[in-house]
């Protein structure tokens, strides 16, 4: 039954008769003669694959809480060894360790794999199913799903990729490409030490042999569509802090608000500093020199955005976000161009003094703006941090602290790289609508790979569906009841097909 | 043992022998022949007086939590009746009820008494002694004190005044003045309905017969000194709220921060609106027309401030507040002039988006600045609210909500009123250093009395010591071990002396 989409019943029927056709195989996979054996191995490994995701979720490592990080790294290393990686090592950093391993199958080409073994913090009281029990729960409209922290971000998709490797072992087949795995445990705190891992000489040498590097992902939407991002914005996350302590004016601790008549206010100082950072409409950074290195969109990038604007539903997007109008009432295509091309200075949060219900007559000693600044090529995090400091200093705000907690440079990956072309070919074969997006407005540590010295194409690949990253009730669909969305076995087979595609593509 | 200050041992010795001299009586009290009998009654009533404070604390009424308000009003009415007030009634308002009563002793003059029967909210976990158990606890440097919510603000001092009335009853003596009592249960939420009480025709008529009105207070500092305030600043407490909901731009719920490139930000809008409200240094209101009605300090007011500046320790004040320098590095006297004379716009708190540790990549749908604005004569709350609205509207911030939660007009009481002169005479006799302060920088509902139609002198009076209003471990000293600070019986006798003084003063 060759079909692009199999629902759960079809899939289970297929398992029962040991038949293939979970996916439409690419020519390389079809020619290899491995298809039937690999499909059987994937089906036979189903219970192990589910258990692998669940057990990993039940072993949380949370960098932000310094929770079980060594255990998390050890567990990551064990998962890699079990899947066939050799030379697996825990790689120490100034922060939490990473994991490195290789899988040499004697193939011509090598592919890099990026994993994160840490997960975001969670508040168990907000979950309808306990966040580290990884229960199987019915998700109406999608099917049976594993609910737990890390289910989609990123243990579930990563374990699905590992399931593909186990299928090769079980089927006694050789991988069509060699693999290089680099994993970190600090993704959720902004990868502050990841560069230390990839620039270790032997790891860098291994990465330099790769065609590209990818992070397994399960981001099909309810229509089965995915994005292929040719890059991502960078980010700097920071707190701007005005305080009597640093200022040498105003109070060192909160005092009664009546004293405002004779005591300076750090809160007002923060407000005055903040308003210099953007244009009066709040929409364009006004930090000195901010646009000096900004590269405008290319004609090709604009064309891709216009195409996406024509296909996406602006009304749905506005409805989903609760946003009645874009900045300056821009038409959709122009708003999407802005999304891809414009650096931003955003206020994530404001915190000063009394924050409870009603009021309290205090003059706060400290005021904080939580800020994220999105960067575009060719801005760099280091240059932008220096420009922000210079901008504040020039205006006399030398006392206002810019406490950077993390960030990434922007990334770019060429549309004609083998990595991107193999992704597009694989998606096309599976009937998955893949939208070429010139630049993800979100950010990920990909710049560690795309910039020197690693300088590799980098992106995400995978089918299947999950949601709730950083939120309660995060999930990954295992048995899909949505014919447009892949379940666990089909997602596993798509990784296998992708590896063959990457091995064969011109 | 005539002495201005009695310590606890002296006091108890006095009680044992039934002797007088708790205070230095004024000529009127001395002439009355009532001194010895009243002192004996105060001493004999000591246990009842302590129990009265404790039982009242154990009956909390908290308007902010709508907690036991009817019970609180009933209790207030019962306390008034027990102390000899007649025609006591619960006075309904649009909010929580007040209490009114009179005590007609056939005297020539009448004095108004203002009580509040509500207390501030509390968090019992922050207290070292349970907040509504009213335990007797040793306060090093002060002596035995009742610890509980309302101990100093304001049940303790009010009950001490009631103890004075009980002493008159017990001694079979007539009060030298008639009394009019008005009590409210909404002081801690800004007295939103108190004007309804005092303007009821029969209550207003009773108040119009008064020489003045006062709130019993126990605010001696460790040196025994008190302030006599000739007025107080007014206040408007409000939230300034920018939201996608009201604006019709930006998001209606928090969205991912990467969308800042195409979505407007209510937080930036709030920052831009805020910065128009004050001068760039944050120290002077810049709201259109704000100073139109501000009356400058008189020569007498400046002279009083200069005198206070000469006597107070600037170094101690800076040290206590943790403030290294006043606004514009002003000298102390000029800073105190500013404290008394300048209207302020203060940020009490800022709340938007993510307020926890670290960052979170959201674009918040709503941003709030908690503001208090202190007013000076002849500003009024109503006029200032209208000016703020007009200022925001003129700059296009029609969507920014100014949600006023409460406030008071400024108050003024003439230095030559009988109320103030009687206070000063009584303090002087007790050896209590009384500092004439032209204007309290804090705020209280006194404007309800000092402004039309009531138009009475209004202030605070009392000796004794307590602290911790609105804070954990609020207390009132009962048995003073500090020779400069009055304990319960001496504070009670001071009220008695004050009533005689007010009856006799020219």
CB contact under 8 A, B281 and A264: yes
Nearest CA in chain B to A339: B261
Identify the three-state secondary structure at position B135. Answer: strand
Q: What is the pLDDT of residues B107-155, one digit of tens each?
A: 999 999 999 999 998 999 989 999 999 999 999 999 999 999 999 999 9
On chain A, the residues whose CB falls within 8 A of the CB of B335 are: 262
Closest chain B C-alpha to A182 CA, distance in angstroms: 26
Question: Of A230, A177, A222, A181, whose CA–CA distance to A424 is shortest?
Answer: A230
On chain B, the residues whose CB falls within 8 A of the CB of A274 are: 271
Most B CBs within 10 A among A232, A237, A257, A333, hence the mutation to make, goes to A257
What pLDDT score does A3 carry?
26
CB contact under 8 A, A441 and B261: yes
On chain A, the residues whose CB falls within 8 A of the CB of B244 are: 322-323
On chain B, the residues whose CB falls within 8 A of the CB of A250 are: 323
Identify the three-state secondary structure at position A69. Answer: helix
CA B261 to chain centre: 49
**Backbone phi, then psi, for A30, in 5-degree steps?**
-60, -45
User: If you average pLDDT over residues B431-436, what whole number do you get?
Assistant: 94
Closest chain B C-alpha to A37 CA, distance in angstroms: 43
On chain A, the residues whose CB falls within 8 A of the CB of B375 are: none
User: If you average pLDDT over residues B295-300, what whole number do you get?
Assistant: 96
Cis omega (within 30 of 0) for bond into A245 = no
What pLDDT score does A279 carry?
98
Q: Are B95 and B73 in contact (CB under 8 A)?
A: no
Kindly tell me if the per-residue pLDDT of B303 is higher than 50: yes
On chain A, the residues whose CB falls within 8 A of the CB of B347 are: 265, 267-268, 271, 352-353, 363-364, 367
Nearest CA in chain B to A259: B339
Q: What is the pLDDT of residues A425-479, one digit of tens each?
A: 999 999 999 999 999 998 889 999 999 999 999 999 999 999 999 889 999 999 9
For A372, the enclosing helix (H) or strand (E) is: strand A366-375
Nearest CA in chain B to A360: B348
On chain B, the residues whose CB falls within 8 A of the CB of A251 are: 321-323
Nearest to B441 among A239, A259, A269 (CB): A259
Nearest to B355 among A259, A267, A351 (CB): A351
Q: What is the pLDDT of residues A390-439, one digit of tens each?
A: 999 999 999 999 999 888 999 999 999 999 999 999 999 999 999 999 99
Least confident of A202-211, A319-328, B11-20: B11-20
d(CA B477, CA A250): 33
d(CA B266, CA B242): 5
Nearest to A251 among B283, B321, B363 (CB): B321
A&B contacts, CB < 8 Å: 269
Q: What is the pLDDT of residues A78-111, one digit of tens each?
A: 999 999 999 999 999 999 999 999 999 999 999 9
Kindly tell me if the per-residue pLDDT of A256 is higher than 50: yes
Identify the band that residue B71 occupies on the pLDDT scale cut at 50, 70 and 90. Answer: very high
Q: What angle (nearest 5°) sits at the alpha carbon of residue B168, between those of residues B167 and B172? A: 115
d(CA A148, CA B161): 63
Q: Are B40 and B134 in contact (CB under 8 A)?
A: no
ipTM value for the complex:
0.88
Identify the band that residue A365 occupies on the pLDDT scale cut at 50, 70 and 90. Answer: very high
Identify the band that residue A131 occupies on the pLDDT scale cut at 50, 70 and 90. Answer: very high
What pLDDT score does A8 carry?
30
On chain A, the residues whose CB falls within 8 A of the CB of B322 are: 244, 251-253, 255, 365
Closest chain A C-alpha to B333 CA, distance in angstroms: 11
Reported residue count of chain B is: 506
Nearest to A370 among B261, B330, B359 (CB): B359
What pLDDT score does B372 carry?
96
What pLDDT score does B10 carry?
34
What pLDDT score does A5 carry?
32
CB contact under 8 A, A248 and B370: no
d(CA B29, CA B19): 16
Percent of chain A with pLDDT over 90: 89
Cβ density class B15-45: b for 16+ within 10 Å, e for less: beeeebbbbbbbebbeebebbebbbbbbbbb
Percent of chain A with pLDDT over 70: 96
Most A CBs within 10 A among B348, B356, B372, hence the mutation to make, goes to B348
What is the overall mean pLDDT for chain A?
93
Question: Of B65, B60, B196, B168, whose CA–CA distance to B116 is shortest?
Answer: B60
CB contact under 8 A, A258 and B363: no
* Region for B236 from its dihedrals, namely left if φ exceeds 0, alpha if ψ lies in -120 to 50, beta otherwise: beta
Most B CBs within 10 A among A359, A368, A376, hence the mutation to make, goes to A359
d(CA A474, CA A471): 6
What pLDDT score does B477 carry?
98
Identify the band that residue A343 occupies on the pLDDT scale cut at 50, 70 and 90. Answer: very high
Question: What is the DSSP pairing of strand B110-116 with strand B178-184?
Answer: parallel
Across chain A, which distance is largest between two alpha carbons, in Å?
84
Q: Are A371 and B377 in contact (CB under 8 A)?
A: no
Structure-model confidence comparison of residues A359 and A272, the more confident one: A272
Identify the three-state secondary structure at position B373. Answer: strand
On chain B, the residues whose CB falls within 8 A of the CB of A237 are: 359, 361
CB contact under 8 A, B260 and A323: no
Q: What is the DSSP-derived secondary structure letter of residue A285?
A: B
- Quick one: chain A helix, strand, coil %, rounded to 5? 40, 20, 40
Q: What is the pLDDT of residues A192-225, one digit of tens each?
A: 899 999 999 999 999 999 999 999 999 999 999 9
d(CA B156, CA B117): 11
Nearest CA in chain A to B272: A275
Kindly tell me if the per-residue pLDDT of B365 is higher than 90: yes
Q: Could you tell me the pTM of the whole model?
A: 0.87
Most B CBs within 10 A among A65, A347, A375, hence the mutation to make, goes to A347
What pLDDT score does A11 carry?
35
On chain A, the residues whose CB falls within 8 A of the CB of B326 are: 262-263
Nearest to B271 among A274, A321, A352 (CB): A274
Beta strands in B143-209 (DSSP E): 143-147, 178-184
Kindly state the tokens that stand for B109. 């003059």
What pLDDT score does B351 carry?
98
User: If you average pLDDT over residues B229-233, what whole number do you get?
Assistant: 95
What pLDDT score does A2 carry?
25
Identify the band that residue B14 occupies on the pLDDT scale cut at 50, 70 and 90. Answer: very low
Nearest CA in chain A to B267: A347
Nearest CA in chain B to A267: B347
Most B CBs within 10 A among A187, A258, A334, A341, hence the mutation to make, goes to A258
Kindly tell me if the per-residue pLDDT of A236 is higher than 70: yes
Most A CBs within 10 A among B62, B192, B260, hence the mutation to make, goes to B260
CB contact under 8 A, B354 and A346: no
- Domains of chain A plus CATH, in order, are 8-232+411-504 (3.40.630.10), 234-294+343-408 (3.30.70.360)
Most A CBs within 10 A among B248, B261, B285, hence the mutation to make, goes to B261
d(CA B440, CA B461): 14
Closest chain B C-alpha to A144 CA, distance in angstroms: 27
**Backbone phi, then psi, for B238, in 5-degree steps?**
-155, 165
* Crossing angle between the packed helical segments B488-504 and B46-57, to the nearest 10 degrees: 100
**Backbone phi, then psi, for B172, in 5-degree steps?**
65, 30
CB contact under 8 A, A359 and B353: no
Q: Are A48 and A144 in contact (CB under 8 A)?
A: no
What pLDDT score does B471 carry?
86
d(CA A49, CA A41): 11
Kindly tell me if the per-residue pLDDT of A18 is higher than 60: no
CA A304 to chain centre: 22
Identify the band that residue A12 occupies on the pLDDT scale cut at 50, 70 and 90. Answer: very low
What pLDDT score does A474 carry?
96
Closest chain A C-alpha to B94 CA, distance in angstroms: 20
Closest chain A C-alpha to B209 CA, distance in angstroms: 33
User: If you average pLDDT over residues B419-440, what whole number do you get?
Assistant: 96
**Backbone phi, then psi, for A476, in 5-degree steps?**
-135, 130
Question: Of A479, A501, A487, whose CA–CA distance to A429 is shortest?
Answer: A501
Write the CA distances from B100 to A272, B162, B202, B289, B499, integer angstroms: 49, 15, 10, 39, 20
Kindly state the tokens that stand for B271. 């920052």
On chain B, the residues whose CB falls within 8 A of the CB of A372 are: 257, 359, 361
Identify the band that residue A119 occupies on the pLDDT scale cut at 50, 70 and 90. Answer: very high
What pLDDT score does B16 carry?
35
Kindly tell me if the per-residue pLDDT of B233 is higher than 70: yes
What pLDDT score does B311 carry?
85
Nearest CA in chain B to A243: B323
CB contact under 8 A, A321 and B363: no
Nearest to A326 among B252, B263, B348 (CB): B263
Q: Tell me the sheet residues that pair with A114.
A: A182
d(CA A206, CA B234): 72
Nearest to A346 among B252, B265, B370 (CB): B265
CB contact under 8 A, B263 and A323: yes
Q: What angle (nearest 5°) sits at the alpha carbon of residue A283, between those of residues A278 and A288? A: 30
CB contact under 8 A, A256 and B358: no
């Amino acid at each position: 039954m060759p079909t692009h989409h199999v629902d759960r019943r079809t899939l289970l029927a297929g398992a029962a008769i040991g038949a293939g056709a979970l996916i439409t195989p690419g020519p390389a996979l079809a020619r290899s003669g491995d298809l039937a054996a690999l499909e059987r191995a994937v089906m036979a490994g189903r219970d192990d694959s589910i258990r692998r995701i669940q057990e990993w979720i039940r072993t949380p490592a949370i960098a932000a809480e310094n929770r079980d990080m060594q255990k998390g790294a050890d567990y990551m290393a064990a998962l890699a060894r079990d899947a066939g990686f050799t030379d697996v090592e825990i790689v120490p950093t100034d922060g939490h360790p990473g994991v490195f391993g290789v899988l040499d199958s004697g193939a011509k080409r090598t592919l890099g794999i990026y994993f994160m073994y840490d997960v975001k913090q969670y508040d168990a009281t907000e979950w309808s199913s306990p966040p580290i029990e990884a229960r199987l729960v019915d998700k109406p409209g999608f099917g049976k799903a594993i609910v737990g922290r890390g289910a989609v971000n990123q243990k579930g998709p990563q374990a699905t990729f590992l399931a593909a490797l186990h299928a090769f072992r079980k089927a006694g087949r050789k991988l069509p490409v060699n693999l290089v795995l680099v994993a970190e445990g600090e993704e959720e705190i902004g990868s502050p030490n990841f560069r230390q891992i990839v620039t270790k000489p032997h790891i860098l040498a291994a990465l330099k042999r790769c065609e590209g590097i990818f992070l397994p992902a399960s981001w099909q939407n309810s229509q089965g569509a995915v994005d292929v991002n040719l890059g991502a914005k960078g980010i700097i996350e920071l707190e701007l802090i005005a305080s009597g302590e640093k200022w040498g004016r105003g109070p060192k601790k909160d005092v009664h608000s009546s004293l405002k008549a004779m005591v300076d206010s750090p809160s007002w100082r923060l407000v005055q500093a903040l308003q210099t950072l953007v244009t009066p409409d709040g929409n364009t950074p006004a930090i000195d020199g901010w646009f000096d290195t900004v590269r405008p969109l290319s004609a090709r990038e604009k064309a891709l955005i216009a195409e996406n604007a024509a296909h996406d539903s602006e009304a749905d997007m506005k409805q989903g976000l609760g946003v009645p109008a874009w900045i300056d009432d821009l038409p959709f295509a122009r708003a999407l161009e802005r999304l891809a091309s414009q650096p931003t200075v955003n206020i994530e949060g404001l915190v000063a003094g009394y924050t409870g219900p009603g009021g309290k007559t205090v003059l706060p000693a400290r005021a904080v703006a939580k800020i994220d600044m999105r960067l575009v090529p060719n801005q760099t995090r280091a240059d932008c941090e220096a420009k922000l400091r210079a901008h504040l200093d020039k205006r006399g705000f030398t006392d206002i602290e810019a406490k950077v907690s993390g960030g990434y440079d922007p990334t770019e990956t060429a549309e004609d790289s083998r990595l991107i072309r193999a992704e597009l070919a694989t998606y096309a074969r599976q009937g998955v609508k893949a939208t070429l997006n010139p630049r993800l407005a979100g950010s990920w540590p990909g710049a560690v790979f795309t910039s020197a010295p690693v300088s590799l194409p980098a992106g995400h690949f995978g089918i299947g569906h999950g949601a709730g990253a950083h939120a309660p009730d995060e999930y990954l669909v295992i048995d899909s009841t949505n014919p447009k969305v892949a379940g666990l076995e089909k997602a596993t087979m798509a990784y296998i097909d992708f590896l063959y595609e990457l091995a064969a593509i011109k």
